[in-house]
Amino acid sequence: MLEIRNLSVNYGLHRVLEGVSRGVATGELVVILGANGAGKTTLLKAVGGLVRAREGSSVTIAGVGVLLVEQNAKRSLEIADRGYLLKNGQVVGRGAADALRKDETVQRAYLGL
């Protein structure tokens, strides 16, 4: 189980993540999609404790987790249960992975269709 509450990260004066709150249930697979610079890597680093989150941020991890970083967005949506879309450090979309895979906007932006 993973619970993220109000996660915000800055690199100097540059705000990379702002108020991200999401959860992942035990056994659930979740994909994070976003363009280069959207904040995906920073999100993972903050969850793993590799970068310092701003005060007021909270990350709770219980049990054993497995993280798969898949560069192929289409494949990620095929194996995931849910997905989140990151843009400019904020979650701008979310939904069932199958629904995201069929969404025309997601197809154009991330799947090359």
> CATH number of the domain that 16 lies in?
3.40.50.300
Q: Which residues constitute the domain of residue 86? A: 2-111
The bridge status of strand 30-34 relative to strand 82-87 is parallel
Task: Provide the residue-wise pLDDT of the chain in tens; the chain has 113 residues.
Answer: 889 999 999 999 999 999 999 888 888 888 888 888 899 889 988 988 889 999 999 988 887 665 666 678 888 888 889 999 988 888 899 999 999 999 999 988 888 87
Instruction: Kindly tell me the burial class for residue 3, based on how many C-beta atoms sit within 10 Å of its own C-beta (0-12, 13-18, 19 or more).
Output: middle
What pTM was estimated for this model as a whole? 0.76
Q: How many domains does the structure of the chain reveal?
A: 1
